[in-house]
Each structure stands twice: as C-alpha cells, then as structure tokens.
A and B are shown apart, each in its own frame.
Chain A
Amino acid sequence: VFTDVLGALAHILTNPTSLGLSVAGVLVGIVFGALPGISSTMSLAVLMPLTFRLNATDAMMFLMAVFNASVYGGSISAILVNIPGTPGSIATQLDGHPMAKQGRAGEALGYVTLASGFGGILGLLVFMTIAPLVASVGLSFQSPEFTGLALLGLASLSAALPGAAYKGILVGILGLLLSTIGLDPLTNVLRFDFGSKDLAAGLSIIPMAVGIFGLAEVLNGLEAGPARMEVVRTISRVIPPWAEVKRTIPAALRGSLVGIIVGIIPAAGSAIGVVFAYLQEKRLSAHPERFGTGIPEGIVAPESSNNAEIGGDLIPTMSLGIPGDGITAVLMGALLVQGLRPGPLMFKEHPDFVAAVYVALGIAIVLTTAFGLLGARLFAKVLAVPQPILLCAIAMLCVVGSYAANNSLFDVGAMIGFGVLGYLMQKLGFPVVPLVFGLILGPMLEENVRRTLVVSDGSWLIYVQRPISVTLLGLSVLTAAYPAFLEYRARRRSAP
C-alpha cells in the first residue's frame, strides 16, 4: 500500500490538472457546504456530471475534494447564521454560534477548521488501514456472499430509520425494481423498455441522483419561501491560541473515534455521529453546564467526528461495494460511470486507483484546512447570495448536469421526474436515499442471485450451506427486523 500511495502521490503532485481539480473542488465544496439547504450529498450529486469526461483519478481528485470540503463548509453557516449548512453540522452550531455572538466568530471558524483537518486525517488513516483488510476478506466471497452483502446494505437502511423501517424497505424495493429496466445482465433480453431506446440502456444513476438530491431540494426551497438569516459579520482572528488548541486535542480524538465508527455503520448518517460526539463530550466534561455557551470542546468534538466519518464511510463503500449513506451512494454512482465498480476486486485489479483515492482524500483534507484558515472571511461572504439566484443556479446546474451524462434530453426529463418524486416522497414521509441504494445495489443483487442459482442448479439451500452467506443473510434479517422489534416493545410498554 505504502509504495502505491507514494507512486500516486508523486503522479498527482506532478500533474497540474489533478491538483487544479482538487483546488477547484475544495473551493466549490466549501461554498456549497456553507450555503444553508445545500447538503454534501446534493453538492456531490449536482457537481458529479463535471467529471464524466475526466479520467478516473482526476474525477476522484475533484469529487473527494467536494466531499470533504462540503462537509467542512456546513459549519460556516452553523457558526455565523445558526443554521447548519449540512445535517452534519447540527451540533457545531450549539457552541459555535454562541462563541460567534461573543465576538469570537473567527476563533470558532478556526477551531472548526483545525478539528475538521484532524478528524479527516484520522479517518483517512483508519480507512487506509482497514479497507485493504476488509477487501482481502471480501476476495474470498462468491455469488452467495455478494447476495448477502447487497441484502445487508439494503436492510441496514431500515435500522437507520426508526419508526419507519418498512418505508425504507419499500422504497429500497422500488429502487430495485427500477434497476431491472433495460438489458437483462445474463440473457441480454430487453425488459420494461416500452419500445423506448432511451430506456433500453436502463435508468442512469446520474439523473436520479441529481433529481432526488438536487432538484427536490430546490422545490423544497421554493415551498418554504424566504428564509430570514441574521449573519454574524465581524470575523476576528481565525487561528485560536495554541494553548487552547492543545487543550481540545482529547475532545478531537474522542470525536474522531465516534465519527469513524458511525461512518463504518451503513446508513447511520452524519447527524447521528455529531450529536453522539457532542453528548459524549458533554458527559465526560468536568463542566457540562458550560456546553452551549460557546466553549471550544463543544465545537471540536462534533466537527472532528463529522470529517472523520468520511474515512469510515469509505470503508464499506470501497472495500465491499456497499455505500454507507447517500453521499457515498452518489460517489459510487460516479465511479460506476467511470467504469469502475468498488468492491474487493478493485483492490486487487486497480491498486493504483485505490492509492489515488487515498491521496485524493489526503490532499483534499490538507487543502480544505489551508483554505479554511486563510479564506474564512471570504467564504463567509457567500452567505449573502440571494436565495432566488441560488435556487435558479442550482436548478440549471441540475438540468445541464443531467444532460451532460449522455447528451440526452431524456435524462433531463428523467431528472425532473425524479426531482418531483423525491420532493413528494419527502412530503409523504418516505426516505429518498434507499431509492438510490436500490438502483445501485440492484444489478449486484440480481446478477449474484441468478449466478448462485445457476451454480446450485436452482436450489436456494446453497445460501444456508455456506457459513459467510448464512451469517450475512441472518444479519440482514436481524438488521431489518430490529427497528420493528423496538417499535413493538415501545408500544407494549406504553400500553395500559
């Protein structure tokens, strides 16, 4: 791994295009993340079409930069406006905004930047250590195990949606059904194309992700109307005193650990990690009553968790091909467009690319920290962009981005359709991420189920005759049933 990483680092550092893309990705990512209402998933979804004509390494340089920087950027509005730019910044505002109101906005942004860099690097180190090990175990997997893995990925969605587990599963199944449109992977027979040549190639992940994560949010913004924001405009010195920074290192370590663990758990979501990190820090503190008044530990713990989670998220995505959440599902979609399927085989067949992913994330973290410290005052100015301009710019980015996938107006129509579907699903209380999970995991699930049945001569017993396969299937059942069990127990307890 070390040699591959050094090779990738040398290649990237001597390639101005790669570095330029990383710089551009960091700048755009921070700006998008800082704007309230634009999540990291949405940022990645609407910017992903820019990478279609790049090579895989350059595409990852840009996407990793957007990923890391948008997660960080969410804290800028959390501190200055008291509105988290991304869901992962909800805990940062609890102490970040009070600190900003005390005239220490620059310092708060400094703590956020340093904590994000610290957490990001720790997450990257864990990712680099664990992912190859998981992938090497995954290399022994065959069709029955991959079936179990895909099912576990889908089932884990239900665990992330307590109280509405069945909704996650239903939407996941809808995604699976949509993935069957187009050519049958084994027999090459056309399915559900209704005579349309656009549908013959199947539904592309691009218009779906852009519509669901991009346009749907624009429609939400239009429905909500004007948002009143009181922005803290005075930004003092950005780099906090070293003695104070040193005092927060244990909080950053604990926060990072929480973030990495939450990131590894599929579909756990960044909001869970940061809230847990914040509450844990408060519980361990000698002065819990000072939390919420603007103390550095209250900023550092959730913010380091937030960025450390990226490394954790990437472990199941890259080593097993199971996206951990919406943003890694979009990232996986971008890799599929590049002709690369994340999973154990990628580590064996494309070790140079895997090394480039590590380097891309590492460079993104360094650049985000540098730009965050140097340009905090500048990035704060994006909060002044009027909402009408923002909504129209994002909508047009969605249109042009989905068109760029195949130079097809059909994809623009599909994007609009999925945008409306995503918007309606949110109104009706259905999660949207499982739809993208279903479309991504569908082909993997179908191909492996059918291959397994060919090998076993049509016998489903093969799934329970292999220890890893039966374990994964058992875990899938338990994961899917656990929230329902919790709901049942809560109802029994509340019953008179």
Chain B
Amino acid sequence: VLVVQGAWSLARRPAAAGPALGPRRFLWPAAFVASLLVYRQVLPAVGYPAATLGFCAAWILVLTGRYQGRLTARSAALSVAAAVAITGALYYVFKGFVRVPLP
C-alpha cells in the first residue's frame, strides 16, 4: 500500500515540484545492492578478508573512475591501499577487539 501510494503521488507530481525520477539515477545504487548480495553469498566460502578486500577494491576503483573522470595509476594504487586499510581496520576491530568470529 505504501509503495503504491508513493508511486501514485510521484506520478501525479507536477513537473515543477522536482526533477523527474529517471531510471538511470538508480543504476548505481541498484548495482551496489546487487554486488552486496553477491558479497553476502560468497562470504562464507571465500572468507571475510578476501571477499571484503575484493568488494572494496572493486568499488573504490569504479567510483574513483566515475568521480574523477579517469583512473590514473596513482589513484588506482591509492584505491587498493584504501581497500586494504578498510578491510584490515574492520578485521582488527571486530575480530580482535569485539571478538566476532568473522567467516
């Protein structure tokens, strides 16, 4: 009911009320959610370090390319380094400090 009501009010919204919600703007969030679901599926098999490193490195590279227009060797290296840092920091905090048995 909520979704139908929302869709109905969006369809009735006059053009001046705001930008049209074209489907293209939802592509990035949709792709991100799809990759998160894949990540969740492969997590038990691949393990936290490899799965997280792969996910973060891929997305940081893709988004850096999107935001900067092009991907240089330096920004690619920085992206991978950031992915290693995120994976390592979360692993240390949750596995080492909070003692969560990560896959």
Quick check: A409 and B44 within 8 Å, CB to CB?
yes
State whether the Cβ of B21 lies closer than 8 Å to any Cβ in chain A. Answer: yes
Docked CA distance A396–B83 (Å): 10
Docked CA distance A219–B33 (Å): 8
Docked CA distance A219–B6 (Å): 19
A50-B98 contact in complex given A391-B63, A428-B7, C-beta closer than 8 Å: yes
State whether the Cβ of A53 lies closer than 8 Å to any Cβ in chain B. Answer: yes
Docked CA distance A423–B21 (Å): 14
| Partner-binding segment picked from A355-363, A382-390, A461-469 | A382-390
Q: Which residues of A contact B62 (CB under 8 A)?
A: 388
Quick check: A222 and B32 within 8 Å, CB to CB?
yes
Residue on B nearest A410 in the bound complex, by CB: B40
Docked CA distance A430–B10 (Å): 12
Residue on B nearest A50 in the bound complex, by CB: B98
Docked CA distance A420–B64 (Å): 23
Q: Is the contact region of chain B dominated by helix, strand, or loop, or is it mixed?
A: helix
| Partner-binding segment picked from A65-73, A343-351, A397-405, A451-459 | A397-405
Q: Distance in Å from the Cβ of A158 to the closest Cβ of chain B? A: 15
Q: Which residues of A contact B102 (CB under 8 A)?
A: 400, 403
Quick check: B28 and A392 within 8 Å, CB to CB?
no
Quick check: A416 and B98 within 8 Å, CB to CB?
no
A223-B29 contact in complex given A389-B82, A407-B100, C-beta closer than 8 Å: yes
Quick check: A225 and B55 within 8 Å, CB to CB?
no
Q: Distance in Å from the Cβ of B100 to the closest Cβ of chain A? A: 4
Cβ < 8 Å to A, chain B residues 1-53 = 1-3, 5-7, 9-10, 21, 25-26, 28-29, 32-33, 36-37, 39-40, 43-44, 48, 52
Quick check: B29 and A430 within 8 Å, CB to CB?
no
State whether the Cβ of A205 lies closer than 8 Å to any Cβ in chain B. Answer: no
Interface size class of A (residues with CB under 8 A): 35 or more
- How does the 8 Å CB contact mask read for B52-73 relative to A, with 1 for contact and 0 for none? 1001100110111011000000
Q: Which residues of A contact B56 (CB under 8 A)?
A: 392-393, 396
Quick check: A388 and B37 within 8 Å, CB to CB?
no
Docked CA distance A427–B3 (Å): 10
Residue on A nearest B64 in the bound complex, by CB: A388
State whether the Cβ of B77 lies closer than 8 Å to any Cβ in chain A. Answer: no
- How does the 8 Å CB contact mask read for B72-103 relative to A, with 1 for contact and 0 for none? 00000001001100110010011001111110
State whether the Cβ of A56 lies closer than 8 Å to any Cβ in chain B. Answer: no
Residue on B nearest A419 in the bound complex, by CB: B33
Quick check: A429 and B9 within 8 Å, CB to CB?
yes
Q: Which residues of B contact A416 (CB under 8 A)?
A: 33, 36-37, 40
Docked CA distance A427–B100 (Å): 35
Q: Which residues of B contact A218 (CB under 8 A)?
A: 32
Q: Which residues of A contact B37 (CB under 8 A)?
A: 413, 416
A396 interface neighbour in B7, B10, B86, Cβ under 8 Å: B86
State whether the Cβ of A231 lies closer than 8 Å to any Cβ in chain B. Answer: no
Residue on A nearest B21 in the bound complex, by CB: A427
Q: Which residues of B contact A393 (CB under 8 A)?
A: 56, 86
Residue on B nearest A397 in the bound complex, by CB: B90
Docked CA distance A460–B56 (Å): 56
State whether the Cβ of A35 lies closer than 8 Å to any Cβ in chain B. Answer: no
Q: Distance in Å from the Cβ of A46 to the closest Cβ of chain B? A: 11
Cβ < 8 Å to B, chain A residues 410-460 = 412-413, 416, 419-420, 423-425, 427-430
Residue on A nearest B91 in the bound complex, by CB: A400
Quick check: A403 and B100 within 8 Å, CB to CB?
yes
State whether the Cβ of A9 lies closer than 8 Å to any Cβ in chain B. Answer: no
Quick check: B101 and A407 within 8 Å, CB to CB?
yes
Docked CA distance A170–B18 (Å): 24
Q: Which 5 A-B pairs have the closest CB atoms?
A: A428-B6, A388-B63, A219-B29, A226-B67, A222-B28
Taking A392-B60, A413-B37, A425-B2 as known contacts, 13 extra A-B pairs with beta carbons closer than 8 A to each other, sorted by chain A number, are: A50-B98, A170-B2, A171-B2, A218-B32, A219-B29, A225-B66, A387-B67, A400-B94, A400-B100, A400-B102, A409-B40, A428-B5, A428-B6
Task: List, sorted by A's number, 24 A–B pairs whose CB atoms are closer than 8 Å.
Answer: A50-B94, A53-B98, A215-B36, A218-B32, A219-B29, A222-B28, A222-B32, A223-B25, A223-B26, A223-B28, A392-B60, A392-B82, A392-B83, A395-B32, A396-B86, A400-B48, A400-B90, A404-B98, A413-B37, A413-B40, A423-B29, A424-B6, A427-B6, A428-B5
A residues bordering B, Cβ < 8 Å? 49-50, 52-53, 170-171, 174, 215, 218-220, 222-223, 225-226, 386-389, 391-393, 395-397, 399-400, 403-404, 407, 409, 412-413, 416, 419-420, 423-425, 427-430
